[in-house]
Amino acid sequence: MAFESQEKQKAYWKENLRLMGILLAIWFTVSYLFGIVLVDVLNAFTIGGAKLGFWFSQQGSIYVFVVLIFVYVWRMNVLDKKYNVDEA
């Protein structure tokens, strides 16, 4: 991976860190806030016969985590192409 300039390298990492920050915030919201802090509020709703707070803490956070992995790979491929550092 070779960058044309130091400025492009800094811009690349800035965008990478921004993406990671957003995805980590989503993961934190779903796994910690929905699964632990707001569980009583969410348990007023059901999904597939299970209380929503319970579902988030047992399955929903795992599903969201897997989706976030795929989103990260997709966005990083776009970012790599933008800065001409893709593997292709």
Q: Can you give the pTM of this predicted structure?
A: 0.83
Q: Over the stretch 5-35, which tens digit does the pLDDT of each residue have?
A: 899 999 999 999 999 999 999 999 998 998 8
DSSP letters, the chain, are ---S-HHHHHHHHHHHHHHHHHHHHHHHIIIIIIIIITHHHHTTSEETTEEHHHHIIIIIHHHHHHHHHHHHHHHHHHHHHHTT----
- Sorting pLDDT into bands at 50, 70 and 90, what band is 46? very high
